[in-house]
Structure 1
Amino acid sequence: MPDAVMQMLGKQLVHRIAVGQGDINGDDFGTIFANAIGGIHRNSPLGIADVVLDRCAWSVKTIKRPQPFTATTVRLISGRNSPNYSLGISDPHDDTEQTGRAVLEVWNARVDEALAEHNELRIVVMVRNLESREFLVFEEEAMRFTPEDFTWEYNSRGNLEGCNRVDGTHHFTWQPHGSQFTIFRVVPASAQRFSVNRDVPLVSFEEVLSAVNFENDWISIHRREQREEIETPLAPSLFDLLR
């Protein structure tokens, strides 16, 4: 990822820290990343293509860690994969292997759907700690998974875990209640790290309003016109009760 993109990520994070936004969520990072690359943040709950630029799309993820620089693996919540809704499996415990295959098929279908609209689909991940001002960023291809490569079993908490059939590496967790699907990914050697090495002064509420020359007449209060017909009286509001 070019240094210019990393600089833009850092600038936007400094801005958020300065105005008192102590942390960010996935949607926030979608906007930050889109601004950094000159793309568009779709901000839609549908599909996995969060940010688009020309014919390329990214699924955007961010997670919080105490020490981002030393992270070696990450857990990425990757949507809700319901085999009952998508593939008609009413009892996920009836056939564990079939349920696991179905969960991956739902993911693969989402990848296919995104690639039908875009030439390339990637995942960009930011591991963050806004308190220590340390960040790790990496991107990689959003791949389809071959269901036959994994074996499935329920853990002690009742969640379904998918492991590599050859070496037993834990790759996926699926929660029957809520259908949350998590992918475990190794942080690649190409991951980039950056930090904010200055204390960021907090810009107060009043300073922001002063900077934009705010005046009270910017705010117009629109009152609903009184209707002539008789309406059912409403319960008193909190403001009425406090008068």
Structure 2
Amino acid sequence: MVEEEVDSLVDEIQYHYTHPTVPPAPIIRRMHINRDREEGHTRLWNDYFSDNPTYTQAMFRRRFRMNKPLFIRIVNPIENGVSYFRQTRDASGRLGLSALQKCTSAICMMAYGCAADAVDEYLRLAETTAHKCLLHFVEGVINLFGDEYLRRPTTEDLQRLMNIGEHCGFPGMVGSTDCMQWEWKNCLTAWKGQYSRGSGKPTIVLEAVASQDLWIWHAFFGPPGTLNDINVLDRSPVFDHILGAEV
């Protein structure tokens, strides 16, 4: 009787050793945070867009990197033309984020290069939502404004720009060409040496042609190497269409 119990115990130990019990995978549930998104919209509206806003036009210009009329001119077509920015209700009937909240989040990320959740406490939107706002905002601006603002200057544009240049004392001038060093904060380590030009920090040379009314007609990000205004201009395609037409 004792031997049978010992054999049974040994068999059970051997079975559990050869057939270990695998614990079930933990269930990761998404944590719900009640951000009170309505309060975020109300605060943003009262601070900048109400009839008697808390902050002045000059403060809006400094913080948003653009004037308020320009901001509204961008937001209204985006809200009407891109379905993602239209304010809808969820299954419970609660209003979602407003177009002002979403566009402000995207503009802050572009203007300051801040993290996606940097404005969570103020605008009340999550990190993943902020990423989506930025993606849809960029695509919406290109689709809605690209035909007008991402084109070559027409004959009328050139004549208007030359008139402005002559009025300012520069007859025959269409725009000003300049280059700047743009710090590449998230540059890959393997590429850092190619883009470091004396300062120790990786930078990208940006060449731009802008007119007096701040209309940027051309932009070119220079390739790696020790570059200055002259050799960046030599590599950029700013005059390619002119040279092609002459040939």
Instruction: Using structure 1 for the length normalisation, give the TM-score.
Output: 0.21
- TM-score, normalised with respect to structure 2: 0.20
User: Which structure has more RCO (C-alpha within 8 Å, separation ≥ 6)?
Assistant: 1
The structure whose residues are more often strand, as a share, is 1
> Which structure would you say has the larger Rg?
2
